[in-house]
Amino acid sequence: MNRKYRKTIIAGNWKMNMKPSDVKPFADELKNIVSRAKWCETVICAPFVDLPAAVKAFKDCRVSVGAENLNENPKGAYTGEIAADMLVDLGVKYVIIGHSERRQYYGETDISVNKKVHAALEAGLQPIVCVGESLEQRELGITIELITLQVKTALANVSADKVRKVVIAYEPIWAIGTGKTATAEQAGEVCCAIRAVIRNLYGARIARAITIQYGGSMNEKNAAELLAQPDIDGGLIGGASLVPEKFAAIINAANQE
Ligand code: PGA
Considering the entire predicted model, what is its pTM?
Answer: 0.97
Cβ count within 10 A of residue 63:
24
**Is 171 labeled as catalytic in the residue annotation?**
yes
The helices-and-strands tally (H runs, E runs) of the chain is 12, 8
pLDDT digit string (tens) for 64-78?
Answer: 999 999 999 999 999
Which pLDDT score is estimated for 35? 67
Tell me the angle at which helices 20-33 and 51-58 cross, rounded to the nearest 10 degrees: 20
What the chain holds in terms of domains, given with CATH numbers, is 8-254 (3.20.20.70)
Q: Does the C-beta of 226 come closer than 6 Å to ligand 1?
A: no
The CA angle 74-46-2, to the nearest 5 degrees, is 95
Q: Does the C-beta of 241 come closer than 6 Å to ligand 1?
A: no
Catalytic pick among 72, 99, 108, 133: 99
Determine the longest span between alpha carbons in the chain, in angstroms. Answer: 49
pLDDT digit string (tens) for 201-224?
Answer: 999 999 999 999 999 999 999 999
